[in-house]
Amino acid sequence: ARAMRRQTELDVADLVTRDGSVLELISSDRSHINEQLAVHYGIANVRGDNFRVVTMPAVRRGLLGHGSILTLTSLGTRTSPVLRGKWVLDVLLGTPPPPPPPNVPALDDSVKPMRDGTPLSTRQRVEAHRSNPACSGCHRVIDPPGMTLESFDATGAWRDTDNGVAIDATAQMYDGRQMSGPVGLRA
């Protein structure tokens, strides 16, 4: 957690010091990491506790690839496309979604991780939750950015499955634009 936070602090401080473009918060291919983060992110040839600037792979570029942001926008044991989507809308785009209506159950209460003995991914559970007409209006705006980040687990490590189900990190924005994964979201 400390290394993740430090990565974000160093990247933002570097951007300000260099008088870089604010767009680099989304698109920068460089980041400050140490060995601990390199191992967590699957990046080779970074050794030691000292942070250094490294060229990041496409899926890790900008704040959307930072473990600090991905962990902050997750729940303790699982990802949350809703929290991640809300964060993107609110913090990065300055368009906060409306608050949920009263008495809407949390995902954990409304859709269980198994249906008829078959495991469900977080994406499938969110889609079942938003099939409720009272929920779908807001979720069609909030969920897509978060869905594109589902390849990152609750701590920001890359994953190919969720609860044994293959990750689907595609999404369609409310205006019809298609996105695929963090690279598509950034674009």
The percent of residues in the chain predicted with pLDDT above 90, rounded, is 75
d(CA 81, CA 101): 18
State the DSSP code for 54: E
Residue 116 has pLDDT above 90, yes or no: no
First-to-final CA distance of the chain: 28
Mean pLDDT of the chain: 92
Neighbours of 19 (CB within 10 A): 6
pLDDT class for 55, splitting at 50, 70, 90?
A: very high
pLDDT class for 46, splitting at 50, 70, 90?
A: very high
pLDDT digits (tens, 9 = 90+) for 121-159: 999 988 888 888 877 888 889 999 999 999 999 999 999
The pLDDT of residue 107: 64
Say which residues have a Cβ less than 8 Å from residue 87's Cβ, sequence separation at least 6.
69, 72, 73
Residue 91 has pLDDT above 90, yes or no: yes
The percent of residues in the chain predicted with pLDDT above 70, rounded, is 96
pLDDT digits (tens, 9 = 90+) for 17-37: 999 999 999 999 999 999 999
